[in-house]
Chains A and B, each alone.
Chain A
Amino acid sequence: MNSEKKQKNLSDAINALGAIFLERIPKTMDSMEAELHAIALDKNNQLPWKTLHHLLHTMAGSAGMFNYNELGSRARALEIRINTILKEQPDSVEDFLNDHHAFIAWARQNYVKTN
């Protein structure tokens, strides 16, 4: 198999994985919303913060890898804000929750196919 065909096959394989990533976005957003709800009920509970942090971290890495750069950078920004909050440095939790809900709405609008 020549080099060009190999690269094409590789690119096709990565694109296929990227398509699967996109298909999972609605479920990921659902998971994020569940954690936001838990945080709203008890802002001092560390577990949903950590779960949400991991979801955002994973999304940032995968989105960037598949060239969904804006999705990745927005997820990364929210991930960094959680770091700040978990270190008990000033960052309004309410502002964070509102911004995260806005991110979810934006992601659903821009990255989820509607039939």
Chain B
Amino acid sequence: MSQTLTKILYIEDDEDIQSVAKIVLEVVGGLTLRSCRSGKEALQPETVTFAPDLMLLDVMMPEMDGPTTLTKLREMPGLKNTPVIFMTAKVQTSEVEYYKSLGAIGVIAKPFDPMQLAEQVRQLWKEHQNESAYE
């Protein structure tokens, strides 16, 4: 049975990008976000309480990058199998394959088109749901 996407854990250190993404995902996408400016903030207990359906992670962040943050998030209750999408400027094929090898259901290139972001996220979610249905 497919799951509805309603809550996203969003981790992005850049204030401008986070502000825009929040507006488009919440207003256009109708989604509920827990927005964090760092991996450290995302690893707080509030994330477990929030129980996201999906995690949207920037790759390049100071102190703790996206992949490292994901490894630690996976150790938190309820997050072991939560789908993740990475956002990065590095979207060459080999790099996309690397992020997918970490378990990402997709990669969104930066800079992104704000007017398309919600649709991109929903499309990747839909593809993931369809693949999961056949497993």
Contacts and interface: CB of A to CB of B under 8 A. Distances in A.
Contacts of A60: 89, 111
Interface string A7-19: 1011101100100
Nearest to A13: B23
Interface string A63-92: 111100000100010000000000000000
Nearest to B28: A10
A57 interface: yes
Interface in B85-135: 89, 110-112, 114-115
A57 B59 CA distance: 12
A58 B14 contact: yes
A17 B23 CA distance: 11
Q: Interface majority SS on A: helix, strand, loop or mixed?
A: helix
A14 B17 CA distance: 10
Interface residues of A, number: 22
B27 interface: yes
Interface size bracket, B side:
10 to 19
Interface in B48-86: 60, 62
A81 B82 CA distance: 36
Interface in A48-65: 54, 57-58, 60-65
Nearest to A21: B16
Contact of B16 (A9, A62, A76): A62
Contact of B111 (A6, A10, A17, A65): A65
Given A62-B16, A65-B17, 5 more contacts: A7-B28, A11-B115, A57-B60, A65-B112, A66-B16
Interface of A: 6-7, 9-11, 13-14, 17, 20-21, 54, 57-58, 60-66, 72, 76
